[in-house]
Amino acid sequence: MQGMAVYRLVPSAAPHDLGWKRAANRGEVVVRARSSGDARVVAAQAECETGRAGLFTTRMKASAFMDEKLYAVRRAPPGRHAGDGPRRVLEGFGAEA
């Protein structure tokens, strides 16, 4: 099993960017994931599960978290969250730390 790391998904587009129209969330989200790409998937899945995304058939693909122009993915500094544990959102969407 591949090890996990903690990633921050940080808004990187200007507030007036038209891409934000499809974003249910415009804040930072912290996730535990296998890679930076997997971090986007974890955040998009969480967005879908909260019912904040668009249509069921396209909502994960359409998630702003999947758009590298809207969100940058950065490795979180060590200390606040452990890399051990399941893939999940650690902060954001009302997640408990």
**pLDDT per residue over 40-87, tens digit each?**
999 988 887 766 555 444 555 678 898 999 999 999 998 888 888 999
**81 — phi, psi (to 5°)?**
-130, 140
Length of the chain: 97
User: pTM score, two decimals?
Assistant: 0.82
* Residue-level pLDDT at 73: 98
3-class DSSP state of 71: strand
pLDDT cut 90: percent of the chain above it: 46
Q: Coil, strand, or helix at residue 82?
A: coil
**Other residues' Cβ atoms within 10 Å of the Cβ of residue 88:** 13
**Strands 29-33, 88-91: pairing kind:** antiparallel
pLDDT exceeds cutoff 60 at 97: no
